[in-house]
Amino acid sequence: MAWRMMLRCWALALLWACAGMAHSHESLPASLLLQERAQGVFDMQWRLPATQGGALALEPVFPQDCQLLGEPVLHAAPGARLRMGALRCENGLRNGALVRFEGLPMTLVDVLVRVDYADGTQSTAIAHPRDPQVVLGARGAEAPAVSEFLLLGVEHILSGIDHLLFVLCLVLLVPTWQRLVPTITAFTLAHSLTLGLATLGWVHVPGAPVEACIALSILFLARELVLRRRGQEGATTRYPWAVAFVFGLLHGFGFAGALSEVGLPQGDIPAALLLFNLGVEFGQLCFVAMVLVLMRVARQLLQARAPAWQGHAVMGMGAWAGFWWLQRMGAVLAG
């Protein structure tokens, strides 16, 4: 009976992974960068995150006075797919020019849009799935909308299934507030450190190996949960803050993928980085609070059956993480 239950858990976890793998990295933003090199003529860079489910069906739609100059050229980049070309707009993408994105409401991504005008001014905005368009060149639009990076950080952590699974494993391994607070704090400090270093360009780590190691970190914590259920002490049980800090450094590089290569002006990076990180932390704390409430409710409702269900949940998370690791290692070897 035990092996049958394990097979069912593996099958269910793999089905969840297959259903969710197309969305596990769609929280990374797309970006549309336009640089005016002559009056009304713009160099265009349209960047889409390379998701595990294939290319996203996203397309920018420009005002009617705009037309492409030739066929855009496709390029491959680490963690992204680029389309570069040129665009002519009679009105110069000013005076409230509207750019919308077909297919955006069907995804989990945001789109950062920035226009560098020939006179040195800029217009920056972010399109969201719930509002798939931006207004450029209107009064006040020249001030970069870095405040929107707070919401971008919240959306990124709450839609990043792999990061949330890691936090969930930490909560399950460290059930008391006295040990959980320093553990989550260590995780926060670590990923804030590497997020800042990577976003500022001081450290660069290839995205594919990082994503594979993030999946491996979840698998490691799932193993630690199994050891604890057997009455054995693993490294996380003895030194939870140290393990959280080490893996937090790794997860910070994963968070940095959401801000890297979006072409932020150098002067906007500190504010955008701070707000994005605050958004990540706020979303993470909301998730931890929700998990703790649900755990308390589950203990009261399930009572004697709780240990069995917890065991099934751990096997499911381990199977999911193992599937992701194999999939992402395939991307590493292929790249």
Domain match, 132 and 177 both: no
* Strand positions, DSSP E, the chain: 30-38, 41-49, 59-61, 66-68, 73-77, 80-89, 97-102, 111-116, 122-127, 133-136
**pLDDT for res 258:** 59
The rounded percent of the chain whose pLDDT value lies above 90 is 12
* Same domain assignment for residues 185 and 312: yes
pTM of the model: 0.68
Q: Do 101 and 245 have their domain in common?
A: no
Q: Which residue has the higher pLDDT, 139 or 205?
A: 205
3-state SS, residue 75: strand
Task: Give how many domains the chain has, as a whole number.
Answer: 2
Q: Three-class SS of residue 85? A: strand
Same domain? 166 vs 314: yes
Percentage of the chain beyond pLDDT 70 is: 76
- Looking at the fold, whether 211 and 100 belong to one and the same domain comes out as no
Domain co-membership, 270 together with 168: yes
Q: Are 164 and 234 contained in the same domain?
A: yes
pLDDT the model gives residue 1: 42
Regarding whether 183 and 57 lie in a shared domain, the answer is no
Ranking 16-30, 97-111, 270-284 by mean pLDDT, the lowest is 16-30
The whole-number average pLDDT for the span 63-86 is 83
- The two tokens of residue 142 are 């020249």
Residues 119 and 213 in one domain: no
CATH number, domain of 75, equals 2.60.40
In a domain, 21, yes or no: no
Do 116 and 195 have their domain in common? no
Q: Is residue 134 part of a domain?
A: yes
In-domain check, residue 157 = yes
Helix (H) or strand (E) holding 51: none
Neighbours of 290 (CB within 10 A): 10
Q: What domain range includes position 240?
A: 151-334
Predicted confidence (pLDDT) at residue 294 exceeds the cutoff of 70: yes
Look at residue 24 and tell me if it is in a domain: no
Question: What is the average pLDDT across 152-166?
Answer: 80
87/75 Cα distance (integer angstroms): 18
Question: In the structure, how many helices (H) and strands (E) does the chain have?
Answer: 9, 10
Question: Does residue 22 lie within any of the structural domains?
Answer: no
Average pLDDT over residues 175-184: 84
Q: Are 2 and 83 in contact (CB under 8 A)?
A: no
Residue finishing a domain among 145, 176, 207: 145
Q: Which of 77-81, 193-197, 297-301, 312-316 has the highest mean pLDDT?
A: 193-197
More confident residue, 258 or 168: 168
Same domain, 188 and 305: yes
- Does residue 6 fall inside a structural domain? no
Residue 252 within a domain: yes
The last residue of one of the domains, among 122, 145, 168, is 145
pLDDT greater than 70 at residue 120:
yes
